[in-house]
Amino acid sequence: GNSVTQMEGPVTLSEEAFLTINCTYTATGYPSLFWYVQYPGEGLQLLLKATKADDKGSNKGFEATYRKETTSFHLEKGSVQVSDSAVYFCALKETGNQFYFGTGTSLTVIP
């Protein structure tokens, strides 16, 4: 079946530190992969996506590369800001419309 595994949080970083949040997936076919972000008190927002192997999704300084050989889609940012504090969800979509979400990773960035 389909599933997504994210690194356990919470993650606490100082401003301008490098961020990596690991995400691996299991899928029977060739899924599209997504990262969503949830700011405090809000719903989830799409951050970036990649639809096929070796694609790189990027947005707001975040990026993730679809690695089919390692079934991974790790989220990275070179220099985090306090405003990046949020919960990050990795997700996959295979055939059909249903998404499968990871459990989320909470990020806190301190000044």
Partner 1 sequence: DVKVTQSSRYLVKRTGEKVFLECVQDMDHENMFWYRQDPGLGLRLIYFSYDVKMKEKGDIPEGYSVSREKKERFSLILESASTNQTSMYLCASSLGTGERGYTFGSGTRLTVV
Q: In terms of CB distance, is 12 or 51 closer to partner 1?
A: 51
Among 89, 92, 107, 109, binds partner 1 (CB under 8 A): 89
User: How far apart (Å, rounded) are the C-alpha atoms in residues 8 and 6?
Assistant: 6
Among 46, 53, 82, 110, binds partner 1 (CB under 8 A): 46
Q: In terms of CB distance, is 50 or 80 closer to partner 1?
A: 50
Q: Decide if residue 98 touches partner 1 (CB under 8 A).
A: yes
**What would the two tokens of residue 109 be?**
């960035």
